[in-house]
Amino acid sequence: MPTATNVVEKFRLRAGERIVEQPGTPIATMSHAEEGRATFEPLDIAARREICLLALRGLRLAETPHLRRLGHFLLDRTLWFWTADALVKGEYVRDAVKRDVAALPHTAAAARVLSPSELRHEHAVPRKIVREHLTSLHVRWSDVDEDTALAEIAEVLDRCPPVLVTIEEDRQLGGQLRAGMGKGGSFEDTPFARYVRAGLVASAGELRFPPNGLWTPEGRYRSSAKHQ
């Protein structure tokens, strides 16, 4: 059963210790052989709620000037949790599907690489745009209960899919497309618009969506389905 401790443990630091992201390190430790046979499932209600609580905490911290950076850090990490983590054998695992083409949308070139190390986990809607959108929503949350706020956060995160691209394709997502949706773009665009603007695909229909993956071609998270 996922717990709050599972999600927030990495934010507990000893005196003088720095936060260093360790890609591919699960909270629930598995051997490589076990990992290869493991089945993944979407985040369940408990895990989703804890992640949304972190986002809400980040939004509240960002209102305090000297804690704004910490708040932004939590908001940015929230999106990673939503797009790279999954349940494996019922346990919450960090980066369980971070570079898994069987789980996440990807380009045709990404499907041909020989090693996951050649892939980049890209956020279709850049984290900066997601953070700004959540902040704009937070302005009117002073008169709603916590559950309503958490539901709105989940709704936003469910519209921000990841896409696996190659290292070379990642380089093409530079300039205004690195942290934004491109000239004239906004959060309200279709989530895959950046990849068309960057020339990675002619249309979003050219992206590949695993039939049993965690995201739909519409850019929605399949939070209630079972996956293998």
Coarse DSSP helix, strand, coil percentages of the chain, rounded to the nearest 5 percent:
45, 10, 45
Q: What is the domain partition of the chain in residue ranges?
A: 4-206
Strand partners, 91: 88
Most confident of 132-141, 144-153, 187-196: 144-153
Q: Provide the 3-class DSSP secondary structure of residue 96.
A: coil
φ/ψ (deg, to 5) at 29: -75, 135
- Residue 192 exposed, middle or buried by CB count within 10 Å (0-12, 13-18, 19+): buried
**Higher pLDDT pick, 1 / 55:** 55
Mean pLDDT, the chain, integer: 81
Rounded-to-integer distance, Cα 226 and Cα 9, Å: 27
**Higher pLDDT pick, 50 / 226:** 50
209: part of which helix (H) or strand (E)? none
pTM of the model: 0.79
